[in-house]
Structure 1
Amino acid sequence: MEKTITLEFLDNHNINYEFHSYEDSGAVRGNEVAAAIGKDANRLFKTVVMKGRSEEVYVFLIPTMEKLAQRKTAQYLGEKALEMVNGRELEPLTGYTHGGCSPIATKNKFRTVIDSSALECDTILINGGKIGYLVELTLEELKKVLDYEVADLRK
């Protein structure tokens, strides 16, 4: 296993997490990824990086099988609209590439919002800093290394 920025950061901060890899499984979609590691797809959260009209960048964690409610989320943030950060901008902003973007240890600090459905989970699975890598941890452990808020983000 290659140590990513995310994994090193979690280890350096003594965060309790479980590592999962699906890189050799051929899984692509969220439900396939969850099946490949034997976990409930409702606990698998994808990282979505968006920019508001204000040019402020935001990070969202939403269930992998759900879509972000852009209008509702923009209103929550006090933005007029949100748009996806394009692939060319992602790495300079976050330090991560598309598909391997973790909300942890990003190059810049961003306002981060986790969908409220995470409150129903004992643990959540998030990107481990590389395609095929996931970390499973509690929201309490995540809070030790990531300043986040919780809101209803799903369509």
Structure 2
Amino acid sequence: MSGSKTNAMRILDSKKVQYQTFSYEVTDGKIDGVSVANKIGKVPEMVFKTLVSITPSKSIYVFVIPVEKELDLKLAAKVAGEKKLELLPVKDLLTNTGYVRGGCSPIGMKKQFPTIIEQSADRLTEIIVSGGKIGIQLQLNVNDLIQTTRSKLAKVAK
């Protein structure tokens, strides 16, 4: 397994954080969160997607929200203390984060960006996020994710 570890897994290992890995096939091309939850046999409420946003002044913020929800950009901007933000164009994702669409993990981006996890995560003990590669999901304790990504909880999804 060591050869196929993602950056996110290596970071969790280095911090001695316990996690469980789930892999899924993408032969059908479906990498949206709800499809992924079904493929790994987990309820969508536990599975969170990572969205990267950018402000007009080029500041980047990361939001981790349930796969069935949508990022409320107005709320997200307010929580980030910004006037406005929009989702980072997919073409800029790899350059800024080191990850591709569908494989973007909140753990182990090129830089430590301010990260906000949807408030509803506080009702969960464990959370599932991308493992940093399409086809890999990681399940870990919510508090471990908050500590590892130095994130905070806030209402940002609708």
TM-score by length of 2: 0.91
- Quick check: 110-119 or 76-85, which moved more? 76-85
Whether the 8 Å contact between 2:31 and 2:102 is mirrored in structure 1 is: no
Unaligned runs of 5+ in 2: none
Distance 1:50 1:24 in 2: 25
- 1:143 matches 2:154: no
Equivalent position of 1:16 in the other structure: 18
Whether the 8 Å contact between 1:116 and 1:153 is mirrored in structure 2 is: yes
- Quick check: 29-38 or 61-70, which moved more? 29-38
TM-score by length of 1: 0.92
Equivalent position of 1:44 in the other structure: 47
Equivalent position of 1:54 in the other structure: 57
Taking only the aligned residue pairs, the percentage that are identical comes to 37
Written as runs of structure 1 = structure 2, the 5 A alignment for 1:91-106 is: 91-106=94-109
Distance 1:8 1:53 in 2: 33
Distance 2:14 2:27 in 1: 29
Whether the 8 Å contact between 1:45 and 1:126 is mirrored in structure 2 is: yes
Distance 1:122 1:79 in 2: 30
- 1:65 matches 2:68: yes
Count of aligned positions: 155
Deviation at 1:25, TM superposition (A): 6.5
Distance 1:90 1:8 in 2: 21
Unaligned runs of 5+ in 1: none
Whether the 8 Å contact between 2:112 and 2:149 is mirrored in structure 1 is: no
**Which of residues 107, 112, 130 is equivalent to 2:133?**
130
Whether the 8 Å contact between 1:118 and 1:124 is mirrored in structure 2 is: yes
**Which of residues 110, 113, 116 is equivalent to 1:113?**
116
Give the letter for the 1:87 counterpart.
V
SS of 1:129's partner is strand
